Amino acid sequence: MSVLTRDEAQTRAQLLDVHHYTVDLDLTTGDDTFESTSLIRFSARTAGTTFVELRPDTLHSAVLDGAPLDVAALDENRLPLALTEGEHTLSVTATMRYSRTGEGMHRFTDPTDGEAYVYTQLFMEDVQRVFAAFDQPDLKAVFEVSVTAPDGWTVLSNGITERQADGRWKAAPTPLLSTYLVCVAAGPWHSVRTEHAGLPFGIHCRRSLAPHLDVDADEILDVTKACFDRYHEKFDEPYPFDSYDQAFVPEFNAGAMENPGLVTFRDEFVFRSAVTDTERMTRAMVIAHEMAHMWFGDLVTLRWWDDIWLNESFAEYMGFQTVNEACADRFADTWIDFGVTRKSWGYEADQRPSTHPVAPDPDAVPDTASALLNFDGISYAKGASALRQLVAWLGEKDFLAGINIHFKRHKFGNATLADFVDNLAAATDRDVHAWAEQWLRTTGVDVLTPRLEGEGGTWRLTVDRRGSRPHRLSVGVYDRDAAGDLVLRERVGADVPQEAPITLDGPRPALVVLNDGDLTYAKMRFDEVSEETALRGISRIPDPLTRAVVWNAMRDMVRDGELGGAEYLEFAAAHLPEETELAVVQGVLGFARTQIADRYVSEAERPAALATLTAITRDLLRRTEDGEAPGLRLTAVRVLVDSATTPDKIASWLDEGTVHGGPELDPELRWRILARLAVLGATDEAAIAAELERDPSATGREGAARCRAALPTAEAKEAAWSAMFASDELSNYLFTATAQGFWQPEQAELLRDYLPRFYPDAIAMAERRGPAMAEAAGRRGFPAYAVDAEALALGERHLAEDTMIPALRRQLTDQLDDLRRALRARG
C-alpha cells in the first residue's frame, strides 16, 4: 500500500475543496465482506490530477461527473483522477473486507452467544478500508452515513441515527469532520440511555456484557456528565455535536478513540471482575481524555500528523486535570497515578534512540507511516507533563484564555503548532514562543540535583541541572520529628536555572525533594543526606504525591544503574507494607515484578527477587485481612500469583475458588492463577479446556490462549508459534494473548531455539498483516526474557541487515535499547 506523504497532502489540499460525503454501507452480505458506496462532492481550484484512496476487496465502479473511470487504474490504494477547474462528483462502489486486526471495519463474533458486532477504527489512513475518501486531516467535509444492517441490530454513528422505513439506518449529517473521525458501530448492542444538558447520552456494549455494564452504568454516566459540565466551565465554545455516545467495543487496539459523538473504548473497561479504585480512576480519566478531544482534535484538528501532540498531549493533560476537579469526591488525586504510571512511560520513551521532540520538525514526519510511530509516551505523557509545566509557569487563567482564543479562531478547521503558540501568546505577556522552542522542540530528560552549602542555622540551596530546559517547580524541605517521621518545614517556589541560591533558615534539612508536587518533567536526584533519608524513610513522608516523586526517582536510579535492583526490592520490602496510596503500591510492585525480577537481576538472583515480592505481598495480605482496603488486597493477590515459584498455594486457591480471607476468585483471578500454573508446569490442556468451558467468553478464549502458550512442552510451544507466525487466523487480541504466554524466564532452555526464529518470522508476519500486528509482534511477541549479550547481538544484526515495516522497526529498536539497559543494570 502506498502511504500518503506530507508533500502529496499539501499539493492535494491546494487543489481541492471537499464539501460532502454520502456514504452507504451494507453489512448484510456475509461474514467476510460488506458493500460500500460513497458519493463525494468536491471542487478543484484549477485543472489538475490527483487521486482518491480506497483499499477494496473488489472495486466495482467509479464514476467521475457521470463518466465511468477504468477500475483497473486502481494502483494499490490509489485511484487517479484528472480534474477540470470547478465542481465535481465522484461515486465509488466496492466490496470491502472486514478486519480481524482492529483496523478499518473490524468484525467480531462473541463466543458467549454467537452474536456479531462491527465497528470502524479509521485513524490515520484506515478510512480507505471502508469507503473511498480523500484521506487527510485538512480536507474536512460534511458526512451523511447510511447503513443497512441485519434485523435486531442497532447502528450508531457520529450523529443521531434513525431506522428508516426501508430498514436502513440513517445518521444525521455531521458538521465538518476529518475523514479519520468518521465512525460506525453496529450490532445487537445493549444500551443505557439518558439525557444531559439537552443532549442524548448513551453507553453501549455487547449483550453478553450487559450485566457488568449495568452495575457500573451510574458511575460511567456520572463521570461523563461531571466532565461534560466541567469542560463547559473551562471552554467558551459549547460541545459542537448533536449527541454523546460511548461504545465499549471488542478487540480494540487503543484505549479509546475520540470519534465525534461516538467515542469507542476497548471493552475491558466494562469490568467483568473485581478491579481497584485506581483502575476505576483510569477509566474515568480515559472518558475525560476522549471528551477533551471533542474540542481539541475534533472541533479544531491538526493540519498534518507532525502535530499529533496537539491532540494527545492536550487530552492527556485535560483528562487527568478534569477528573481531579470534577470527580474529587469519587477519586483521589489523579496526578499521583499520572506520576507513577504515565510519566514513567514518557521518561522511558524519551531516553531511547527513537526519541523525538514533543512537536517534531515537519520534515521528520514525511508520511503517514512515520507519523504512526509518534503515538508513544512522548506525545502523550511527556507532552502532558510539558503542558502541566506550562500551566505552572503561565498560570491557569492565561492558559485557558489562550485555549479559548485557539478554539474561536479555528473551530471546524485545522491548526498548527504555530497557531497554537500564537494563540497562547495572545493571552499573556510571557514569551510563549521561547518556551515552546525549549520544551517542545527538544528531546531528552533533564536531571535536577540539589546542592546544600552552609552550616549552623543558614543553608544555601542551589539546583544543578543537566539539560537545557527552564523549570518552575516547588522544593519540599523536610525535618525529622522526635518519632522519626518526616515533617514538612516549607515548600519553596524555584525557577531553574536559578538567579540566586535559596536561603533556608534552621537546621540542615533531613530531606530536600525537588519537584515536590511533580509540576515539571525531569529526573530527580538527591543530595547525599537526602538520599539516605529518602531511601531509608520513604514511608515516613507525609504526602502521597511526594512519596510518588521519591519512588519515581528511585525507579530512575535503578534504570540508570545508580541503584541496584536488589536494593530497590529491599526498600520496597521495608516501606511498601506501610504505604496507603494504592497507585504507589501498584506502580512499585509492577516495576519490581516485570522489570527488576524478570530483567534487571541475574538469573541466579531471580529466585530471591521473587521471594522478596512474595514476602511483600504476604505482608500486604496480613495488613488487609479486615477487609478495609480491598483494592490493596487485590493488588497483593495478583502480584503474589505472578511471583509464585511453587504451585501448591495458588493451586489450592483455584481448587477452593477463593483466597483465604478473600477475595473469591472471579474469572480474571482464575485465569491468572491458571496461567502461572502453566508456566510452572503444574497444569495441562485438560484443565485449560475445563476452565474455558466454565468461562467461554472472549476474555476466556484469550486466557486459554495465554495458558496454552505458557505450557512448558515442546508441542505447546510449537503450536503457539505456528498460530502466531505461520497462520493469519488469530485476531489481534488472540495473537497478543498467545505472545504473552509464550516467552517465560522459567523456560529458557525450552525456548532457546525460538530466539533465532523470532526475527524472520515476525518480519514476514508484519509485512503480511500490517502495522497493528507489527506493533503487537514487536511489543508483546519480543523475547524480552532473554537478557544476555548473545540475544542483543542477534537483534542488532537483524535490525542492521533486514528490511521491515516502520512499525516493527520502531518496536524492535526500543526493545533492544531496553535490553541494553537491562544488561547495564545487571552489571
For the residues 314-325, what does the mean pLDDT come to? 98
**786 and 825 inside one domain:** yes
Q: Are 1 and 77 in contact (CB under 8 A)?
A: yes
For the residues 771-795, what does the mean pLDDT come to? 97
φ/ψ of 60, rounded to 5, equals -85, -45
Residue 143 falls within a domain, yes or no? Answer: yes
Residue 3 falls within a domain, yes or no? Answer: yes
For the residues 11-38, what does the mean pLDDT come to? 98
**51 and 146 inside one domain:** yes
The pLDDT score that the predictor gives to residue 167 is 86
Residue 211 falls within a domain, yes or no? Answer: no
Residue 764 falls within a domain, yes or no? Answer: yes
**138 and 41 inside one domain:** yes
Q: What's the CA dihedral at 506, 511, 512, 517 to 10 degrees?
A: -120
Residue 272 falls within a domain, yes or no? Answer: no
Strand bridging mode 413-415 / 300-302: parallel
Nearest in space to 154 (alpha carbons), one of 115, 112, 196: 115
For 682-717, what is each residue's pLDDT tens digit? 999 999 999 999 999 999 999 999 999 999 999 999
For 727-770, what is each residue's pLDDT tens digit? 999 999 999 999 999 999 999 999 999 999 999 999 999 999 99
The pLDDT score that the predictor gives to residue 628 is 87
**14 and 54 inside one domain:** yes
Nearest in space to 488 (alpha carbons), one of 501, 472, 475: 475
For the residues 798-806, what does the mean pLDDT come to? 97
| CATH number for 357 | 1.10.390.10
Set 290, 531, 691, 702: catalytic member: 290
For 242-255, what is each residue's pLDDT tens digit? 999 999 999 999 99
Neighbour-count burial of 686, counting CB atoms closer than 10 A to its CB (0-12 exposed, 13-18 middle, 19+ buried): exposed
Cα separations in angstroms, 458 against 476, 490, 504, 687: 17, 15, 6, 69
pLDDT over 90 at 827, yes or no: no
Q: Are 44 and 15 in contact (CB under 8 A)?
A: yes
Residue 230 falls within a domain, yes or no? Answer: no
Band of pLDDT at residue 332, cut at 50, 70 and 90 = confident
pLDDT over 80 at 543, yes or no: yes
The pLDDT score that the predictor gives to residue 627 is 86
Cα separations in angstroms, 440 against 40, 159, 389, 468, 698: 38, 35, 12, 12, 42
**318 and 339 inside one domain:** yes
The pLDDT score that the predictor gives to residue 80 is 98
φ/ψ of 534, rounded to 5, equals -65, -45
**152 and 5 inside one domain:** yes
Q: Choose the final residue of a domain: 508, 535, 562.
A: 535
For 383-395, what is each residue's pLDDT tens digit? 999 999 999 999 9
For the residues 220-235, what does the mean pLDDT come to? 98
Partners of residue 41 on adjacent β-strands: 20, 89
Domain count, the chain: 4
**49 and 148 inside one domain:** yes
CA distance 150 to 107: 14
Q: Are 527 and 791 in contact (CB under 8 A)?
A: no
For the residues 69-79, what does the mean pLDDT come to? 98
Stated pTM of the model: 0.98
For 438-463, what is each residue's pLDDT tens digit? 999 999 999 999 999 998 889 999 99
**4 and 152 inside one domain:** yes
| CATH number for 29 | 2.60.40.1730
φ/ψ of 297, rounded to 5, equals 135, -40
Cα separations in angstroms, 515 against 471, 502, 563: 9, 14, 20
Strand bridging mode 168-171 / 161-163: antiparallel
Q: Choose the final residue of a domain: 535, 559, 582.
A: 535
**529 and 436 inside one domain:** no
Share of the chain above pLDDT 70, in %: 100
The runs of H, that is alpha helices, within 81-209 are: none
For the residues 191-206, what does the mean pLDDT come to? 98
Q: ∠ at Cα 296 (294, 300), nearest 5°?
A: 95
The pLDDT score that the predictor gives to residue 514 is 96
φ/ψ of 735, rounded to 5, equals -60, -50
Q: Choose the final residue of a domain: 507, 535, 563.
A: 535
**455 and 361 inside one domain:** no
**810 and 764 inside one domain:** yes
| CATH number for 529 | 2.60.40
For 560-573, what is each residue's pLDDT tens digit? 999 999 999 999 99
**Domain extent at residue 489:** 446-520+522-535
Cα separations in angstroms, 509 against 487, 519, 600, 687: 10, 22, 33, 59
For 492-513, what is each residue's pLDDT tens digit? 999 999 999 999 999 999 999 9
Residue 192 falls within a domain, yes or no? Answer: no
Residue 115 among the catalytic residues: no
